[in-house]
C-alpha cells in the first residue's frame, strides 16, 4: 500500500462523504441551536456532534464492519429488507424529497435573496442539469465531489465562519435553557442524516475498492474516511453553533432558522457575505443531490437487472426532481414525514447491531429488533398524519420515552431478545465475497 496515495484517497473520499451529508439544512440549524443554548453553546455543539455527526458516520462504519455494501448489513434482517428499504428510501425519501428539496432550498436561500425576479422553475431546471452532469458517470462521482466541489464549498464556508468568529454580532448570554446537550441531540436526530450515511456507504466503500484497496486496507480506508468527515463536520457545526450563540442577546428566541443565519451574515459581512452564503447553500444542496442521486440510480440500475441504461435512469431521476422541486419545500416536507418516522428507527437498529455484529450469535437480534421498531413507529407515523386518534395516542403514551419520540426503543430491545431466542442455533447471514478479494487471493 502506497501510504501517500492512501491518505490522499482517504481525504478525498472523506470530503465527498462530508459534502453529501452537509446539505443546506445542516447549514441553518446549528446557529439556531446556538441561539437557544446561549452561553451553554459548547454543550449544544457536543449534542450536535453525537446526534448529527457521529450517528450518520456510524452507519458507514456499520456497513464497513459487515462488508462493503448496504445489502451486506440489511441482509441480516432478511434478503428482501434491502430491496424494500431502498425502494421506499429512494422513491419517496430521496428522489421524492431530498433531491427536489435541495433544488427548492437552493432557490429560496441562494437565488431568491440575490436575484428576486428569477422564477423557481429556472433555478430547479439549472440545478438538475448540473446534477445530471455530475452524476451520469458513477465512477467519477467521488472525485468530482471530493476533489473539486467540496474544496470550493469549504472555502466559501471558511470565509463566512472565520468572519463570524472574529466579528461576532454579540456575546453569548444566559438563555435559561435547561438541557442544551439533550435538545441538540434531539434536533440533530430529527434531521434524518443517518439515512444519508447508510445510503451513501456503498458508494464510498466501493470507490475505495475501485482505487485498488481490498481487505484490511479497504476497511481502514472506510473508517478513516468517516473520521475525516467527522472532523470537518464538527469544525463547521461547532463554529456555526458559536456564531448563533453570539446572537443570543441580539435576536429573539423564536427567530426562524433561515432568517437568523441570513440576518447574522448580512449584519457582519453585507452583500459579499450574502453572496458567499448563497454560494455555500447552492453547493451544499448540489453535492447532497449528486451523492444521493448517484446512490439511488445505482440501486435502480441493479434492481432492473441493468436493462435500463444508467444515464436514462439519471435523466428520469432529474425529471422527477424538477417536477417535485417546483412545488416548493413545505409541500415536500409534509408528505415525507410519516415515511421517515417508520424508516428511521429501523435504520438506527440496523446500524447499532451492524457495529456489534461479530458479538451477536444469530440474526434474531436484527429480525426481532427491526420488526418491533417498524411496528411501534407505525403508530407515530399515523399520529403525524392524524393526531386526533385518541385511543392510539393513549396506547403510544404507554411506552417509555414516547414524549421524546422514542417510543420504539424499549419494544425494540424486547424484540431483539425474543428474536435471538427464536433464532438460536440458526446460521447468520453471510455476505457474498468481494470479487476483487477473491481474484487477489487466487493470484
> Has residue 332 got a pLDDT over 70?
no
What residues contact 10, with CB distance under 8 A and at least 6 apart? 221, 224, 225, 228
> Has residue 360 got a pLDDT over 50?
yes
DSSP string, 343-409: HHHHHHHHHHHHHTGGG-SSTHHHHHHHHHHHHHHHHHHHHHH-TT-HHHHHHHTTSTTGGGT-TTH
> Has residue 23 got a pLDDT over 80?
no
Mean pLDDT of 374-387: 90
> Has residue 339 got a pLDDT over 70?
yes
Of 336, 372, 410, residue with least CA distance to 91 = 336
Of 201, 202, 221, 205, residue with least CA distance to 5 = 221
> Apex CA 202: angle with CA 201 and CA 207, to 5°?
105
Average pLDDT, the chain: 87
Q: What is the pLDDT of residue 384?
A: 84
> Has residue 126 got a pLDDT over 90?
yes
Q: Which of the 8 DSSP states describes residue 118?
A: S
The whole-angstrom separation of Cα 396 and Cα 407 is 7
The label of the residue with cell 493470484 reads: 443
Q: Are 158 and 18 in contact (CB under 8 A)?
A: no
Q: What is the pLDDT of residue 307?
A: 92
Mean pLDDT of 128-151: 87
Q: Are 30 and 261 in contact (CB under 8 A)?
A: no
Q: What is the pLDDT of residue 438?
A: 46
Cell of 160: 463566512
Question: Residue 429 in 3-state DSSP?
Answer: coil
The whole-angstrom separation of Cα 284 and Cα 266 is 19
Stated pTM of the model: 0.85
More confident of the two residues 95 and 245: 245
Of 106, 32, 27, residue with least CA distance to 328 = 106
Mean pLDDT of 244-250: 92
Mean pLDDT of 403-416: 91
The whole-angstrom separation of Cα 189 and Cα 345 is 10
Domains annotated on the chain, with CATH: 3-327 (1.20.1740.10), 335-432 (no CATH)
Mean pLDDT of 429-433: 76
> Apex CA 229: angle with CA 225 and CA 234, to 5°?
150
The whole-angstrom separation of Cα 282 and Cα 434 is 37
pLDDT digits (tens, 9 = 90+) for 152-195: 998 999 999 999 999 999 999 988 888 888 888 878 876 777 88
Cell of 28: 441553518
The whole-angstrom separation of Cα 30 and Cα 183 is 12
Amino acid at each position: 500500500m502506497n501510504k501517500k496515495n492512501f491518505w490522499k484517497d482517504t481525504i478525498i473520499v472523506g470530503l465527498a462523504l462530508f459534502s453529501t451529508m452537509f446539505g443546506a439544512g445542516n447549514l441553518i440549524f446549528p446557529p439556531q441551536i446556538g441561539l437557544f443554548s446561549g452561553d451553554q453553546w459548547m454543550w449544544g455543539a457536543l449534542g450536535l456532534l453525537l446526534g448529527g455527526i457521529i450517528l450518520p458516520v456510524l452507519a458507514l462504519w456499520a456497513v464497513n464492519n459487515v462488508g462493503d455494501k448496504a445489502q451486506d448489513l440489511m441482509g441480516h434482517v432478511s434478503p428482501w429488507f434491502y430491496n424494500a428499504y431502498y425502494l421506499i428510501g429512494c422513491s419517496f425519501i430521496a428522489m421524492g424529497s431530498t433531491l427536489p428539496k435541495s433544488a427548492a432550498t437552493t432557490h429560496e436561500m441562494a437565488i431568491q435573496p440575490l436575484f428576486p425576479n428569477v422564477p423557481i422553475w429556472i433555478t430547479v431546471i439549472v440545478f438538475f442539469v448540473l446534477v445530471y452532469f455530475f452524476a451520469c458517470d458513477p465512477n467519477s462521482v467521488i472525485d468530482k465531489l471530493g476533489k473539486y466541489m467540496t474544496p470550493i464549498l469549504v472555502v466559501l464556508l471558511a470565509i463566512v465562519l472565520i468572519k463570524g468568529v472574529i466579528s461576532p454580532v454579540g456575546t453569548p448570554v444566559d438563555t435559561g435553557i435547561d438541557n442544551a446537550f439533550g435538545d441538540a441531540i434531539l434536533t440533530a436526530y430529527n434531521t434524518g442524516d443517518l439515512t444519508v450515511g447508510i445510503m451513501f456507504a456503498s458508494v464510498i466503500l466501493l470507490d475505495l475498492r475501485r482505487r485498488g484497496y481490498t481487505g484490511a486496507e479497504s476497511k481502514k480506508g472506510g473508517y478513516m474516511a468517516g473520521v475525516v468527515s467527522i472532523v470537518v463536520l464538527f469544525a463547521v457545526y461547532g463554529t456555526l453553533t458559536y456564531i448563533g450563540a453570539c446572537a443570543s442577546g441580539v435576536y429573539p428566541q423564536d427567530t426562524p432558522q433561515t432568517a437568523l443565519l441570513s440576518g447574522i451574515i448580512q449584519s457582519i459581512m453585507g452583500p459579499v457575505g450574502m453572496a458567499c452564503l448563497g454560494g455555500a447553500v447552492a453547493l451544499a444542496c448540489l453535492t447532497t443531490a449528486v451523492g444521493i442521486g448517484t446512490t439511488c440510480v445505482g440501486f435502480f440500475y441493479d434492481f432492473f437487472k441493468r436493462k435500463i441504461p444508467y444515464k436514462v435512469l439519471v435523466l428520469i431521476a432529474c425529471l422527477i426532481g424538477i417536477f417535485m422541486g417546483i412545488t416548493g419545500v413545505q409541500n415536500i416536507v409534509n408528505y415525507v414525514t410519516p415515511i421517515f418516522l417508520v424508516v428511521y428507527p429501523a435504520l438506527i437498529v440496523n446500524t447499532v447491531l451492524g457495529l456489534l455484529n461479530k458479538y451477536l450469535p444469530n440474526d434474531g437480534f436484527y429480525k426481532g429488533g427491526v420488526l418491533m421498531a417498524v411496528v411501534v413507529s407505525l403508530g407515530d407515523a399515523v399520529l403525524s398524519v392524524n393526531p386526533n386518534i385518541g385511543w392510539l395516542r393513549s396506547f403510544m403514551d404507554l411506552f417509555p420515552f414516547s414524549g421524546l419520540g422514542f417510543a420504539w426503543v424499549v419494544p425494540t430491545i424486547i424484540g431483539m431478545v425474543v428474536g435471538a431466542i427464536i433464532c438460536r442455533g440458526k446460521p447468520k447471514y453471510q455476505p457474498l465475497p468481494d470479487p476483487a478479494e477473491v481474484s487477489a487471493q487466487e493470484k
